[in-house]
């Protein structure tokens, strides 16, 4: 008897502390915690108490008797992890209790952004007495990526927002919505009103493909497309032409798979979800029946998570296909991946090879393509196709009117803050923003989330990231390195807008 951690695991690790027998791995601090796709329960040790399931913010932990058919494989995914990583130490991890130093009894922090990293940081700070937190959010609603970046059919993951709502209701947390840092309030003004500022503004710019035709009509940023179908207010007027039969998605991370599922499945799969009304209407009229997912490298280097790939293979009305010569052992050398012989890698490769062997039986298809480098989009004003270079140097052309560029995101520069254009992030050490001229930390300036580490990891990965930043900030407070604010924070709130109580 055991519980099983499944596809929607957010890596937040709330379950780890809840387990009375310490049989969930990896734990924060374990070597593979920062790279793992999900957490796992050791079925040989689990005592079936259900404490972890109650704690999981995204309901990813399911009793093995209640696993739906398409999640059955997670039973062995959990068990296999412990074959390769024996359970070992079961000493409970001590929960860190934070408090302000006795000689520094007050702390005022501004957090810019209200996505997961921002709210994990705000949550850790505001649970201490005598700490005031001001959240500055450009939009009129909070939760950032947790609201506007999660696929509408991943309802469990979207519930992450519920976890953050109590933070916004705390009496020592003030939320200033419709307020853009750098436009409505300067870096200097924030600094003047607070001991410290944490920048958690995410990664909302595209990584360019860098090929001719990228600017054509029908060449669409995955970021814009995801924001549109999730009802982001900046994209409510966008229109995407879904009339063509084939769409091509560049990149094969989980965002690419989210988009492929959305375009390939019948609209009924989304009718009961929180998808935006505009997107639902567009999908009802969509002519797309085939989505081609194009990746530069082979299946051993795919960016998607195993759970998301398995989910794609289990869609009820869509065939997942691949090409035998792109998924053979020769085409998929795994020698330079971290753990080429792991059960996880074997499962991934077996899934794409099964896709290559599948005979199509549905009118709707998703095809995984590997080893193809985009070299140009064709068309005069509207995309009519994409040219791809094969490993042998030959060129393949795919006809399409819709190319979705899901090859990565990057942060945007913030006026008044250092920025590294090469990585699209703010330079930092353990969350302390570094002045590139002196290589020293800028007093009172911190960062967290994607603007700090780049667009990687699940929503829950921001918890550890935010903890690192908060630890640096509190350490600096204790060492007297934070400049004292010269104006009350209430003055700032009064000047900007009437603060919104958040529920």
For residue 429 the two structure tokens come to 């050490």
Closest CA to 446 of 437, 454, 434, 458: 434
74 binds ligand SF4 (CB under 6 A): no
Kindly report the CA angle at 178 between 149 and 107, in degrees rounded to 5?
Answer: 90
77 binds ligand SF4 (CB under 6 A): no
49 binds ligand SF4 (CB under 6 A): yes
For residue 389 the two structure tokens come to 């270079």
* Shortest Å distance, C-beta 251 to ligand SF4: 34
47 binds ligand SF4 (CB under 6 A): yes
442 secondary structure, DSSP code: E
As a whole number of angstroms, the distance between CA 452 and CA 270 comes to 33
* Shortest Å distance, C-beta 19 to ligand SF4: 3
* Shortest Å distance, C-beta 22 to ligand SF4: 8
Site size for ligand SF4, by CB under 6 A?
Answer: 14
Q: What are phi and psi of 500, to 5 degrees?
A: -90, 130
23 binds ligand SF4 (CB under 6 A): yes
Q: Which is nearer to ligand SF4, 49 or 350 (CB)?
A: 49
Q: Give Dmax (Cα) for the chain.
A: 71
How many other C-beta atoms lie within 10 A of the C-beta of residue 135?
28
**For ligand SF4, which stretch binds (CB under 6 A), given 14-22, 85-93, 307-315, 351-359?**
14-22
Among 14, 28, 30, 51, binds ligand SF4 (CB under 6 A): 51
How many other C-beta atoms lie within 10 A of the C-beta of residue 127?
13
Among 9, 24, 200, 295, binds ligand SF4 (CB under 6 A): 24
**For ligand SF4, which stretch binds (CB under 6 A), given 49-57, 89-97, 128-136, 255-263?**
49-57
84 binds ligand SF4 (CB under 6 A): no
Q: What are phi and psi of 444, to 5 degrees?
A: 80, 5
41 binds ligand SF4 (CB under 6 A): yes
Q: What are phi and psi of 471, to 5 degrees?
A: -60, -45
| β-strand partners of 409 | 206
Contact 425, 451 (CB under 8 A): yes
Among 4, 9, 16, 52, binds ligand SF4 (CB under 6 A): 52
**For ligand SF4, which stretch binds (CB under 6 A), given 13-21, 25-33, 86-94, 376-384?**
13-21
48 binds ligand SF4 (CB under 6 A): yes
Closest CA to 304 of 423, 160, 117, 458: 458
List contacts with ligand SF4 (CB under 6 A). 3, 18-19, 21, 23-24, 41, 46-52
């Amino acid at each position: 008897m055991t519980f099983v951690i499944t596809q929607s695991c957010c890596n937040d690790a709330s379950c780890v502390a809840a387990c009375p027998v310490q049989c969930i791995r990896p734990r924060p601090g374990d070597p593979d915690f920062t790279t793992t796709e999900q957490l796992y329960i050791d079925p040989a040790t689990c005592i079936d108490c259900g404490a972890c399931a109650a704690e999981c913010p995204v309901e990813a932990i399911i009793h093995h008797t209640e696993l739906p058919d398409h999640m059955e494989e997670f039973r062995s995914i959990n068990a296999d992890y412990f074959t390769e990583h024996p359970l070992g130490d079961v000493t409970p991890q001590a929960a860190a209790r934070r408090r302000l130093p006795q000689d520094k009894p007050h702390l005022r922090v501004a957090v810019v952004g209200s996505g997961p990293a921002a709210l994990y940081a705000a949550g850790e700070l505001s649970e201490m007495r005598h700490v005031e937190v001001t959240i500055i959010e450009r939009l009129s609603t909070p939760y950032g990526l947790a609201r506007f970046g999660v696929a509408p059919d991943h309802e469990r993951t979207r519930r992450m927002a519920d976890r953050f709502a109590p933070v916004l209701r705390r009496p020592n947390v003030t939320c200033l919505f419709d307020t853009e840092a750098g436009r409505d309030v300067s870096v200097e003004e924030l600094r003047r009103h607070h001991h410290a500022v944490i920048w958690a503004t995410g990664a909302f710019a595209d990584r360019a493909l860098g090929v001719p035709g990228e600017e054509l009509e029908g060449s669409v940023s995955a970021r814009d497309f995801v924001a549109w179908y999730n009802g982001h207010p900046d994209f409510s007027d966008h229109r995407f032409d879904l009339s063509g039969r084939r769409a091509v998605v560049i990149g094969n991370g989980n965002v690419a798979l989210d988009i492929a599922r959305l375009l390939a499945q019948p609209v009924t799969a989304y009718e009961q979800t929180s998808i935006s009304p505009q997107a639902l209407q567009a999908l009802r009229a969509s002519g797309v029946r085939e989505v081609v997912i194009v990746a530069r490298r082979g299946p051993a280097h795919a960016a998607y998570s195993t759970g998301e790939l398995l989910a794609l293979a289990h869609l009820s009305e869509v065939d997942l296909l691949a090409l035998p010569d792109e998924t053979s052992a020769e085409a998929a050398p795994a020698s330079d991946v971290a753990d080429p012989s792991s059960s996880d890698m074997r499962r991934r490769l077996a899934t794409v090879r099964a896709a290559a062997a599948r005979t199509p039986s549905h009118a709707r298809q998703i095809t995984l393509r590997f080893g193809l480098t985009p070299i140009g989009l064709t068309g005069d004003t509207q995309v009519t196709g994409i040219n791809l270079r094969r490993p042998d140097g030959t060129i393949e052309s795919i006809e399409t009117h819709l190319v979705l560029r899901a090859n990565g995101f990057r942060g945007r520069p913030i006026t008044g803050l250092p920025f590294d254009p090469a990585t699209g992030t703010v330079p930092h050490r353990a969350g302390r923003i570094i002045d590139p001229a002196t290589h020293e930390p800028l007093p009172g300036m911190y960062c967290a989330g994607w603007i700090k580490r780049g667009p990687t990891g699940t929503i829950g990965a921001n918890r550890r990231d935010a903890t690192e930043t908060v630890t640096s900030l509190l350490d600096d407070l204790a060492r007297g390195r934070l400049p004292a604010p010269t104006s009350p924070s209430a003055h700032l709130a009064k000047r900007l807008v009437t603060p919104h109580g958040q529920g």
